[in-house]
Amino acid sequence: MRKKRIMIIGPSRSGKTSLANLINGLTGPTRRTQNMVYGEKTLDVPGVYLESPWMHKHLIVAAQDASHVLMLVDQSSFLESYPPGFAKTFRVPVIGVITRSGVKPENNDWCIRQLKKAGVREPYYNINLAEEASLVELMEILK
């Protein structure tokens, strides 16, 4: 049996790799890559897999090795990345995560609408990687 990992998807520059490194206990500089990165506890998926609709099938297949899927939305950006109902294609729990929380709080309602439109159920987790306290609840769910 293969080890199940937490799959992290989201648009480019939404904090996927930084969150994956945090979950895996890694420190140091973050490197961008165009390949899926299998970490100790995570599967970090480049934004291009989400941004190119013809690659969505690769996301769905890769999710077979996932225990959870984290769908990230960046609060500092108005980029709509997920097709309607996309979360329903996964057979594992999908968790909505709003990254860079507090950077543009006026965009929070827009982020929630985007997650709902994608089919992600509440609760949604607002996190800011610069503030460890914002990560506590999310990390408890992932244990």
Query: Quick one: pLDDT at residue 2?
Result: 65
Cβ burial 66-97 (10 Å sphere, 16+ → b, else e):
bebbbbbbbbbbeeebbeeebbeebeeebbbb
30/17 Cα distance (integer angstroms): 7
Query: Quick one: pLDDT at residue 112?
Result: 96
Domains and CATH numbers, the chain: 5-142 (3.40.50.300)
pLDDT in tens, 42-64: 999 999 999 999 999 999 999 99
pLDDT band (50, 70, 90) for residue 107:
very high
pLDDT band (50, 70, 90) for residue 83:
very high
Who has greater pLDDT, 28 or 100?
100
**Residue 40: which residues within 8 A CB-CB, separation 6 or more?**
24, 25
Mean per-residue pLDDT for 102-120? Answer: 94
24/80 Cα distance (integer angstroms): 28
- 114 sits in which H/E element: helix 108-117
Query: Quick one: pLDDT at residue 129?
Result: 85
Kind of pairing, strands 5-9 and 124-126?
Answer: unpaired
pTM of the predicted protein model: 0.91
